[in-house]
Amino acid sequence: MTSAKWLSQVKRGLLELCILNLVGRERMYGYQIVKRLAEVPGLVVTEGTIYPLLSRLKREGLLESRLVESPNGPARRTYGLTREGRRHMRSINESWSEIAEAVQRFMDGAMNEEER
């Protein structure tokens, strides 16, 4: 697997994790989610790809959406977590913490080896 492909798959999983955590804190509309994710350097390559991802998470029953009237323009679609989505978020948050910690230990070990 090329590093670009590996990175793309890792980012895809992480994007899902970030979206669930963002929406888990407060209801947000699509544009807000995209802009918040775009603030993280290197996480979002192209902003448009977030919308199909939101749509997929909705299809999987992790997110729900509703249209909310906006004072300055057309109605906005806001997203929130479903009960299943909240359960999934807790589960992947725990998994991520464990994995990140374990991987960091390996990386620290490899760095120390290189330094020696």
Closest approach of other proteins to the CB of residue 103, in Å: 22
Q: What is the edge-to-edge ordering of all strands in the sheet holding 63-68?
A: 28-29, 76-81, 63-68
State the binding string over 5-44 for other proteins (x if CB under 8 A, else -).
Answer: ---x---x--x-------------xxx--x----------
**9/104 with CB nearer other proteins:** 9
Angle ∠(39,54,43) on CA atoms, nearest 5: 30
H helices within 1-116, ranges in order?
3-25, 30-38, 50-59, 83-115
Cite the DSSP H helix spans in 39-82: 50-59
Give, as ranges, the residues between 53 and 112 that touch other proteins (CB under 8 A): 53-56, 58-60, 65, 72-74, 76-77
Closest C-alpha to 20, from 98, 99, 92: 92
Nearest distance from residue 72's CB to other proteins, in Å? 7
Interface residue list for other proteins (CB under 8 A):
8, 12, 15, 29-31, 34, 45-56, 58-60, 65, 72-74, 76-77
